[in-house]
């Protein structure tokens, strides 16, 4: 059985089926490490779209007052460096800590976006928060 990199979403209704798929692995005599942790969905498309909208909002305002022109991607890298938590990735047995919004779950992404929003407020930068966005809804529910 090939277990996906992001793990398997385990719940009562699929517990037995997953056990049946794992059992042959144990029959081989190999020893495995099984780690269970609460399931959290990866960042949402809505969150990702909002982040890129904000990168554009910020770059437009910064470029209007600065001789150096920054792209949305450069703003993204700048904000990741300031606010995105580091996550460990492994490639060919080597681990490295990286800052990537792609690796955030929905809660972590909401916290990341909130930090950007506060930073923008302190800098006098205006960012759009669409009333139908997931972020707007979460913000209302947490205030």
Is pLDDT above 90 for 135?
A: no
Determine contact, residues 113/51, Cβ cutoff 8 Å.
yes
The most confident of 8-22, 34-48, 93-107, by mean pLDDT: 93-107
pTM: 0.73
45-142 maps to CATH 1.10.3790.10: yes
Quote the pLDDT of residue 72: 97
Residue 13 and residue 33: Cα distance in Å, rounded? 23
Residues 6+ apart with CB under 8 A from 79: 55, 58, 116, 119
More confident residue, 94 or 14: 94
> Which residues, other chains included, contact 38 with Cβ-Cβ below 8 Å and sequence gap of 6+?
none
pLDDT at 138: 74
Q: Is residue 50 a contact partner of residue 131, using CB atoms and an 8 Å limit?
A: no
Please determine, for residue 80, whether its predicted confidence score (pLDDT) is greater than 90.
Answer: yes
């Amino acid at each position: 059985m090939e277990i996906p990199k992001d793990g398997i979403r385990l719940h009562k209704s699929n517990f037995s089926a997953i056990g049946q798929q794992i059992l042959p692995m144990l029959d081989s005599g190999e020893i495995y490490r099984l780690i269970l942790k609460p399931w959290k969905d990866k960042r949402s498309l809505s969150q990702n779209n909002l982040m890129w909208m904000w990168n554009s909002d910020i770059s437009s305002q910064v470029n209007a007052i600065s001789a150096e022109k920054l792209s949305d991607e450069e703003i993204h890298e700048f904000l990741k460096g300031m606010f995105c938590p580091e996550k460990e990735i492994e490639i060919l047995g080597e681990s490295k800590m990286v800052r990537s919004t792609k690796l955030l779950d929905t809660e972590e992404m909401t916290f990341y976006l909130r930090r950007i929003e506060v930073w923008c407020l302190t800098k006098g930068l205006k960012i759009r928060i669409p009333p139908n966005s997931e972020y707007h809804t979460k913000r209302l529910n947490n205030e």
